[in-house]
Structure formats: structure tokens, C-alpha cells
Amino acid sequence: MAGAAAPLTARSGRVKAARRLTRRADRADTRLFLAEGPQAVREALAAGCVREVFAVADAGGRHPDLVAAAARAGAPWQVTVRQAIAALTDSVHPQGVVGVCHFVDVPVQQVLGGHARLLAMCADVRDPGNAGTVIRCADAAGAEGVLLLGNSVDPYNGKVVRASAGSLFHLPVSLADDAAAMVDQVRSAGLQVLAADASGEADLDEAADAGLLAAPTAWLFGNEAHGLPDALAAQADHRVRIPIHGRAESLNLATAAAVCLYASARAQRARP
Amino acid sequence: MAGAAAPLTARSGRVKAARRLTRRADRADTRLFLAEGPQAVREALAAGCVREVFAVADAGGRHPDLVAAAARAGAPWQVTVRQAIAALTDSVHPQGVVGVCHFVDVPVQQVLGGHARLLAMCADVRDPGNAGTVIRCADAAGAEGVLLLGNSVDPYNGKVVRASAGSLFHLPVSLADDAAAMVDQVRSAGLQVLAADASGEADLDEAADAGLLAAPTAWLFGNEAHGLPDALAAQADHRVRIPIHGRAESLNLATAAAVCLYASARAQRARP
């Protein structure tokens, strides 16, 4: 009977193995990561990438859909003491359910092969909240994929997974070290590359008015503190600045990405 | 001679008094708060609200403009040991300069009196990063003010100040407990109220196409987890949803605010 066995504790070998996945090196070795909270675990189960679930005793009663989905997926539902679950996440408010998931990133060719019309590319994004929020915004705006380039934060970092609010499991995410090569490859696949750049020569509203945003587009976003390297920005088809109407110096990365991606989504759907 | 006196330590009465301002109750009692980092202190000095500055020994050499501005403002520049400065902020990377500032919020009438065309209103926003980012986005989009309503986070919380990236000192911010009364007051001042609401009857793009966004507008945003209370959303002139083209459930508050505010900024500036 489910729940009859004693809950796993922090000393359990399975919990210890899962806890190692809070470290990037161990994630890279095993190609496994942790998704915390019912929403993330639900989306991960729907994506078919969950290997096992650790859950506090009453989580099954609160989320019968998750128990059923885990059973269908053949993923063991491991009742686990609360403190052991808490040790698997850096969330301030752990929600009592953690899934051990297989990596979900895909080869770049898979993102580019399907006649993508809207992509988000991040070069050297370092803040996990920003990276996760860009993935969420790209999903919401209907983008077909996200490319994390250069020295970007690990998308399997718990804070990225949490900030993506499930979107990491919705749309293809691809990783590539060489940002410059990737810009070329994206253009070869028939997308224009628009660099979001505070000193860009084109204004986002003017670009929309001129019809520039209606074409298949990959937006290129830079590091939150340093922006895009000049050489990489120069490689883009256009460098586009978001107009600053007030006295703010800039927008932060995630809000800038939201404004750019939604401007493209609107332009690509506008009736002529 | 500047720097000749021994640096203040954490035991100094002035530092202890400043440290108490990390607590909301002490901020409310004194109507003083802390702004951390050279950017925030620069904007606070420009806004004329700095009472004194605590700075590590080498900060003056790195930021001579701040030393000069503090002198012009009559704000003492207190050289202080690094650990004492660090205790004044919860920043992961303290930047060695902290200003003690007078509260900058203004009466609502001051925000509404100047023929405002674009405002951001937040009801029950709880996350300090969201609140600060909304203030920054409102500034960037050219809004004339921000109203924090109901049980919203204290705008003088260190994380709000940091996330606003100086914008707290740029545009008028006003606080009011009674969100419903404030919606009425904003409408009486001649602005339409648009509630950002995932289940709204109007789509943001359609609203833009129909010319709805060109009118003077106050956007009303709800709590990050629970959205807007039904009664408050019903009070707005229209409830507007951001189209979700992909599989994300929603956008987060700060990115949703950025998309809405920039949609209005574009519509209000469009040539007919």
C-alpha cells in the first residue's frame, strides 16, 4: 500500500544521490537535475523526463494528478521526510515535491530545423532569475526555442528552473559555447538576428513601424551587467534599442526581452 | 583633512542608528531609509534627499563625483570600515557606499495633479524585486508616477531600492492603503484604468489596434501569486490580457508590467 513504507530520510542513498544534483558538476556527470514544486513536476511529467519524485507524506493527497502521472511514467513516488526534501532545493518556500529529471536540452539543429519564426538567444546571461524569466517570456510570446550561448548560467540551476515556471519543459532549449558561430548558423537557417542593444541604431518602435519585426527573427540578448560584446552585436543584422522615455538608464534583461519578444510576436501576427 | 579621522566602526552610534533602518518599523518611525551602491547614492543625491553617506575608505577616490555632490548637499561623507557598511545592506555584493535618505514618496494628489498620461498602480505587490522592477520599467516607459496600493511591499526595503536601479528617485511614487478608492480617484483625474488580468476580456494587441491605449492610462497590476481581486478588476474601465501565444501559463508581474507600459508608451506616441 502506498505510504506504508517508512518515509525516506536525508540518510537514504537515493536522497543523497539527488542532493548531489544541486551541484552543477554532478548534474553534468549524470545529465540529471531537480525540478521543485508541483507546477514544475507536473510540466516535467508531461514532458516525459521525470525519473523519480520525492514528496512529503501529504503531497500525494494534495496532488493526485501528479501521483497518477508519475505512475503512468513509471517514475517511483518516494515519500520523504520534509527536511530531506528541503535539502534538495534552495527555495525559500519549498513546496514538498521534487522531481529528478533527465536533461531536456536539444541540439541546435532541432531548434533551427522546424522553420522557426521567433527565437531568443542569450549570450553570457549569468543571473539565474533572468535566464529562467527569459525562457518563460519566450514561451509566452510563442517563440519556438531559446539558445543559451557562451558562458551562460546552467539552465538546470534550481533558480533557473523555478523562474522558468515550467517553460523549460515547454519549448526547446539549446546550449552552445560559440555565440558567434551560432549567430551565423541562425542566419543561415533564414532568421534575421536582432541584437537588443541600448546603443543600437534602430529604435524598437521605428523598427516595428518599418515592418522589420514581421520577418522571422532571433533576438540576441547580452549579459545583464555588460550587455553584448561589440563584435557579437556587430554580427547581428540590426542593433535595436528599446526607447527610454523617462530617466531610467536601461531596462533589466528579463523585462527588455519581454518587450522585444512581444513586439515581434505582435508584428508577426499583424494583419497586413 | 578628509580621511584623517579613524573610520567609523560597527560600534559607532551613527552606524548603529543607520543599521536600524534595515527594519521597516524603524524606517517608518524616522522616515529615513538606506540606498546602497554608487548608482543609487548618485540618484539620491541628485534628488536632494541624502542626509549622510557611509563609504569605505577607497570609495571617495573611485567616485569623486559623489564626494562632491555630498559636499554640495551638506551630507557628511563618513568613512566607515567595510564590515560596518556590509551590515547596512543585504546585497550579495555590497559596493561600499550607502546613503541615509529621507523618504521620497509624495501625496497621491501630486502624482495626479500634473496631467499624467501614464501611471503604474500595483495592488498588493509583495515581492521586492517585482516592485522595484515595476518602478524601473515605469520610469523607462515614461510614466509620470507609480502608486503602491493596499498591502504592497515597503518601497524603502533595500531590495526594492536596488531593483529600481535609481528610478525610485526619478519619478513620483505614492502609497495608499485603499486601492478601490484610489482607482476612483485616478479615474476622476481623467485617466482610464486598465487592469492587467490574465482572464481579461480585451487582448492587449486588439486594444492597441482599436486605439484604446492612446488615451491617458493608469495600468493596475495585482499580486504576483493571486492577481487582482475580482472586485478591484471589475472597477477598472477594461480588463486587458497579454496574449499567451505559447504554453506558458502567464508572465511574471515585472515582465507583464513592462509589456503593458511599453504598449501604452508606443500607442501614446504613435503618429495618427
Q: What is the phi-psi region of residue B171: left when phi exceeds 0, alpha when psi lies from -120 to 50, beta otherwise?
A: beta
Q: What is the pLDDT of residue B115?
A: 86
Q: What is the pLDDT of residue B94?
A: 86
Instruction: Tell me if B266 and A205 make a contact (CB, 8 A cut-off).
Output: yes
Asked whether the predicted pLDDT for residue A1 surpasses 60, the reply is: no
pLDDT at A272: 58
* Residues of chain B contacting A260 with CB distance shorter than 8 Å: none
Cβ–Cβ under 8 Å, residues B117 and B237? no
Cα gap B195→B234, rounded to integer Å: 9
Helix (H, G, I), strand (E, B) or coil at A227: strand
d(CA B30, CA B101): 10
Mean pLDDT of A223-250: 96
pLDDT for the residue numbered B55: 97
SS3 category, B96:
coil
> Full-prediction pTM beyond 0.90?
yes
**What pLDDT score does A94 carry?**
86
Give the residue from chain A lying closest to B145, CA to CA.
Answer: A246
Choose among A238, A184, A186, A189: nearest CA to A213: A238
DSSP structural state of residue A58: T
Helix (H) / strand (E) element for A259: namely helix A253-269
- What is the enclosing helix (H) or strand (E) of A52? strand A50-55
Q: What pLDDT score does A4 carry?
A: 60
What confidence category does residue A22 fall into, taking pLDDT thresholds of 50, 70 and 90?
A: very high
Give the Cα separation of A171 and A136 in Å (integer). Answer: 9
- Phi, then psi, of B55 in degrees rounded to 5: -145, 145
**pLDDT of A124-183, one tens digit each?**
999 999 999 999 999 999 999 999 999 999 999 999 999 999 999 999 999 999 999 999
CA distance B141 to A112: 33
What integer best gives the mean pLDDT of chain B?
Answer: 95
Across the interface, whether the CB atoms of B250 and A170 are under 8 A apart is answered: no
Distance separating alpha carbons of residues A93 and B127, to the nearest angstrom: 13
Q: What is the pLDDT of residues B9-58, one digit of tens each?
A: 999 999 999 999 999 999 999 999 999 999 999 999 999 999 999 999 99
Interface test with A, best of B135, B173, B266 (most A CBs within 10 A): B266
Rounded to two decimals, the ipTM of the complex is 0.95
- Cβ contact B133:B105 at 8 Å: no
Inter-chain CB proximity B140 and A248 less than 8 Å: yes
- The answer to whether the CB of A194 falls within 8 A of the CB of A237 is yes
Distance from CA of A170 to the nearest CA of B (A): 7
Q: Which residue segments constitute the domains of chain B, with CATH numbers given? A: 13-102 (3.30.1330.30), 108-269 (3.40.1280.10)
What is the pLDDT, as a whole number, of residue A12?
94
Give the cell for residue A221: 540578448
Average pLDDT over residues A213-223: 98
Say how far apart CA B78 and CA B69 lie, in whole Å.
14
Among A245, A250, A261, A269, most B C-beta atoms within 10 A, so best to mutate, is A245
Mean pLDDT by 10 residues, chain B (272 residues): 74 95 97 96 97 96 97 97 92 91 96 92 97 98 98 97 97 97 96 97 96 97 95 98 97 97 96 60
Residue-level pLDDT at B114: 76
| Residue A5: all three cell numbers together | 513504507
B238, B194 contact by CB (below 8 A): yes
pLDDT of residue B272: 57
Whether A159 and chain B come into contact, CB under 8 Å, resolves to: no
Give pLDDT tens digits for A194-209: 999 999 999 999 999 9
